[in-house]
Structure 1
Amino acid sequence: MPRIGEKAPDFTAITTTGPLKLSEYNKGSWVLMFSHPADFTPVCTTEMSAFAEQKDWFAERSTKLIGLSIDSIHSHLAWVNNVREKTDVFMDFPIIADLDMKVAQLYGMLHPGESTTAAVRAVFFIDPKGTIRLIMYYPLNVGRNMDEIKRALVALQTADDCKCALPIDWRPGDQAIVPPPKTLVEMDERIASTEYEKVDFYLAKRNLN
């Protein structure tokens, strides 16, 4: 099972937009890869529709989407068309047809305690270098939180750009955490500093703007 900080395992798969090789799709972009248990199911339909509706938002942040379930390409196409006809939402990002479960097994999306034939609701955040930066898992019967997925992506990108850490519930416009001192000299400098908002020398914040 992949872990945070490791390279995302590469694969080639059949998708609703044609063959896809992850390492090529990932070049120069962030990738969100998310699994759903099955096509033509209600919770999955709400989730995948939400990703489709937010596709432009993700694109503006250099992020591509990939869906996955253990269904055939024919099932995927029929489901995508059905959702478009019924709701006018077009899930036009790649959805992997993982009938042989190879990708689901490669990424630890199969949790036997939940199901041996359906992928749990996993989300993998992969950066432009192909490194897994964050993993979310949800059970089969609880939908994901799109606000948190978006917040987490912006937080990861901001932390990279600003070389900082971010506190609980951080949102754009909030302060960042200043890395704590690593030596006695740095500790004394931090204590004397008026540059940051300080709770104590080890917990200081700064504005990003």
Structure 2
Amino acid sequence: MRQDAHNSGDASAAPCAGLRIGDMAPDFSARSTTGDVRLSDYRGRWLVLFSHPADFTPVCTTEFVALARAAGDFAQRDCALMALSVDSLFSHFAWLRMIRDRFDVEVRFPILEDPTLVIGRGYGMVAPGDSDSGAVRSTFFIDPEGVIRAMTCYPANVGRSTPEMLRMLDALQAVDKETSLAPANWQPGEALLGQPQADLDSVFAAQGEADWFLGKAGAGARR
């Protein structure tokens, strides 16, 4: 397992880095179920990097089944999926074989091995002194420039929502396209919000009392 330097130095030398939205995603290379993987090779498209505590766990198994079935939906959005676990490559293989035989779905996106927790620590998923991977339940939405645009973290006993992951991706892509804002519960095809006006004349000239900061952005984003 190899961990490379990133914009603020070597992530392996600064465990539990406390990454934030807007940071560059730390680069790394690792073995995976689809061969050797380097994060920076995914530049130019969106990437969802998500982690799970261990193979052969109930909640994670349901997540991988759901994500494998939705892989085409992510691909349509020019987004790759990449999973991370502390388990070994051969444990991943055995788990994926079980998933295929039991659920009739093949997991074809890469699953990385992270037995020394170097990637988990570099991404701040695991505290420096932790030897337990139970906290490794994070998701990072990384844009084509390699910037972390959103992060979510779930407990071990609650599974992720695949529709919400897709909605997050749709919203991030939509606000980039229109330089606008996605309101609560926004869905593709619905109107986005415009950026608030930043000068007093525009505030006083707005037709409605809230239009200067709560107005729609054009006709909205459409897929």
* 2:6 aligned residue: none
Residue 181 of structure 2, aligned match among 165, 184, 188? 165
Matched, 1:201 2:212: yes
- 8 Å Cα contact 1:69/1:118 also seen in 2: no
Where in structure 2 are the equivalents of 1:1-209 lying within 5 Å?
A: 1-24=18-41, 26-110=42-126, 116-189=132-205, 191-192=206-207, 199-206=210-217, 207-208=219-220
What is the CA–CA distance in structure 1 between the aligned matches of 2:166 and 2:119, rounded to whole Å? 24
What is the CA–CA distance in structure 1 between the aligned matches of 2:37 and 2:136, rounded to whole Å? 22
Deviation at 1:205, TM superposition (A): 1.6
Q: 1:155-197, CA deviations, whole angstroms, 9 ceiling, x for partnerless residues?
A: 00000011101111111122111111111122234x14xxxx8
- Aligned AA (1:152): M
Query: Does the residue aligned with 1:177 lie in a helix, a strand or coil?
Result: coil
Unpaired runs of at least 5, structure 1: none
- 8 Å Cα contact 2:26/2:122 also seen in 1: yes
- 8 Å Cα contact 2:46/2:80 also seen in 1: yes
What is the CA–CA distance in structure 1 between the aligned matches of 2:73 and 2:198, rounded to whole Å? 39
Unpaired runs of at least 5, structure 2: 1-17
Query: Does the residue aligned with 1:110 lie in a helix, a strand or coil?
Result: coil
What is the CA–CA distance in structure 2 between the aligned matches of 1:34 and 1:199, rounded to whole Å? 39
- Aligned AA (1:6): D
What is the CA–CA distance in structure 1 between the aligned matches of 2:120 and 2:28, rounded to whole Å? 11
Q: 1:72-129, CA deviations, whole angstroms, 9 ceiling, x for partnerless residues?
A: 00100110111111111111110001111111111122259x9723343211000000
What is the CA–CA distance in structure 2 between the aligned matches of 1:53 and 1:30, rounded to whole Å? 18
Report the count of equivalent residues.
203
What is the CA–CA distance in structure 2 between the aligned matches of 1:99 and 1:198, rounded to whole Å? 57
- 8 Å Cα contact 1:70/1:119 also seen in 2: no
What is the CA–CA distance in structure 1 between the aligned matches of 2:163 and 2:45, rounded to whole Å? 21
User: What is the aligned-residue identity percentage?
Assistant: 44
RMSD: 2.0
Deviation at 1:201, TM superposition (A): 2.7
Structure 1 residue ranges, 4+ long, deviating more than 2 angstroms after superposition: 114-120, 197-202
Per residue, is there more strand in 1 or in 2? 1
